[in-house]
């Protein structure tokens, strides 16, 4: 059994180490040897509109009115959101409000 992990892109096990990276011989994908899921989460720093670093459980305030796509709901500027949860992707903040559960971009929030 090989100690090299399977390719995260094509999931085949035909991989080999090359310097500080692993390389997939089938699809050509390269990824760093030292990267783990915990390291990826710790390395991602999410900042609000003012440049303050956000963390899970923080309270934030909306800095502008946001129209919710596919609905007639508008989230009003100044609305305070408690206990946010940070997630990966384009919309980094997962939160619950009176109007429902939403995924928001950090650039429309300020720590509060």
Query: Cα angle at 109 between 61 and 86, to 5 degrees?
Result: 105
- Parts of the chain belonging to CATH 2.30.30.40: 43-111
How much is the pLDDT for 19?
84
Domain 1-35 = CATH 2.60.40.10: no
> Helices (DSSP H) in the chain: which residue ranges?
37-43
Instruction: Extract the tokens encoding 14.
Output: 């035909």
How much is the pLDDT for 43?
57
Instruction: Tell me the longest C-alpha to C-alpha distance in the chain.
Output: 57
pTM confidence score: 0.60
d(CA 112, CA 110): 6
The third-level CATH classification (topology) of the domain covering 43-111 is SH3 type barrels. (2.30.30)
* Average confidence score pLDDT of the chain: 86
Across the range 20-28, mean pLDDT stands at: 88
- Parts of the chain belonging to CATH 2.20.25.10: 1-35
């Amino acid at each position: 059994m090989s100690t090299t992990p399977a390719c995260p892109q094509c999931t085949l096990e035909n991989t080999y180490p090359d310097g500080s990276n692993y390389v997939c011989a089938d699809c050509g994908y390269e990824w760093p040897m030292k990267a783990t899921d915990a390291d990826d989460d710790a390395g991602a720093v999410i900042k609000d509109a003012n440049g303050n670093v956000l963390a899970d459980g923080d309270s934030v305030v909306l800095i502008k009115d946001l129209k919710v796509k596919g609905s007639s709901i508008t989230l009003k500027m100044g609305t305070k959101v408690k206990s946010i949860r940070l997630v990966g992707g384009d919309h980094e903040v997962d939160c619950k409000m009176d109007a429902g559960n939403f995924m928001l971009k950090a650039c429309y929030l300020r720590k509060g």
